[in-house]
């Protein structure tokens, strides 16, 4: 995301509509300091505010993500469905953050007392994952077929969540080779974001899968893009985001926009 471009677009469109920062802030139920911060490029609106902000300014959601008005109509309904899906993911991550905070406090209080049982019950360990997830294949945003992704490995849920093991996409032969393993990390951007890298014999081969992806922590919902532009996704809502060329990172929200 280019925060400066998006901020300039928000400021210019607000002035075109003869709105003050306070008026826009009141419509979004945030402080005028938040509006000022966005317009200066010092921050970006929370994902939950993108739809009401776009409506207030008469823009498309993808216009805000791109930082410029689009020249072609956007699939607005699908984009808004995608934002709803990502908002649910952000809430899920926020709940997990709070669970980790409470768990850390409990560990400090109970260290040395039933510690092994506590660690296991709170999920602070490697856990096995074995899933076969049906997906759809999209070319130029159009569904062209179906496939399945086999996920078999282990997830580390201590501190930062990671996964290592098989993530084989049936329609992408290079991901299905026996000695190829996938490494998925959450929160790689510092404020949210997921990445996938494939390894083969200790090296990073050219598998043809772009590094950034969207994936929930349950690993049952995800979307990724191949280097040729083909999209593999469990839900059509991921398609416009992956086609936009921008990656919208998800960060845990502990407070409103101030």
Q: For residue range 31-84, list pLDDT tens digits in order.
A: 999 999 999 988 888 877 888 898 899 888 878 877 888 655 555 555 666 666
Which pTM does this prediction carry? 0.58
pLDDT at 127: 86
Checking if the pLDDT of 101 tops 90, the result is no
Show the domains of the chain with their CATH numbers. Answer: 3-66 (1.10.260.40), 76-253 (no CATH)
125-178 pLDDT, tens digit each: 678 999 999 999 999 989 999 999 999 999 887 667 899 999 999 999 999 998
pLDDT at residue number 64: 81
Calculate Rg over the CA atoms of the chain: 21
The residue ranking higher by pLDDT, 5 or 180, is 180
- Calculate ∠ Cα 75-77-80, nearest 5°: 105
Residue 136: half-sphere exposure toward Cβ, Cα within 13 Å = 12
Dihedral (CA of 8, 20, 83, 58) sign = negative
| DSSP, residue by residue, 18-47 | T--HHHHHHHHTS-HHHHHHHHTTS----G
Query: Would you state the pLDDT for residue 258?
Result: 38
């Amino acid at each position: 995301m280019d925060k400066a471009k998006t901020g300039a677009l928000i400021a210019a469109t607000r002035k075109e509509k003869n709105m003050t920062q306070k008026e826009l802030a009141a419509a979004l139920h945030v402080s005028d300091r938040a509006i000022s911060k966005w317009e200066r490029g010092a921050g970006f609106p929370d994902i939950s505010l993108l739809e009401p902000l776009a409506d207030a300014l008469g823009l498309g959601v993808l216009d805000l993500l791109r930082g410029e008005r689009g020249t072609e109509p956007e699939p607005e309904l699908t984009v808004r469905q995608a934002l709803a899906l990502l908002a649910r993911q952000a809430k899920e991550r926020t709940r997990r953050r709070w669970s980790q905070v409470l768990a850390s406090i409990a560990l400090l209080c109970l260290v040395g007392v039933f510690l092994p049982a506590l660690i296991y019950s709170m999920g602070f360990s490697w856990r096995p994952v074995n899933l076969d997830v049906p997906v759809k294949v999209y070319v130029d945003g159009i569904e062209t077929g179906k496939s399945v992704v086999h996920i078999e490995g282990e997830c580390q849920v201590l501190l930062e969540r990671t996964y290592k093991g098989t993530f084989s996409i049936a329609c992408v032969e290079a991901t299905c080779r026996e000695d190829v393993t996938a490494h998925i990390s959450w929160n790689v951007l510092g404020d949210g974001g997921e990445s996938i890298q494939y390894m083969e014999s200790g090296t990073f081969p050219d598998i043809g899968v772009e590094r950034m992806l969207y994936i929930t922590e349950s690993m049952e919902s995800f979307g990724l893009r191949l280097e040729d532009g083909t999209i593999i996704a469990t839900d059509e809502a991921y398609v416009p985001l992956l086609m936009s060329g921008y990656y919208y990172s998800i960060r845990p929200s502990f407070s409103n926009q101030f």
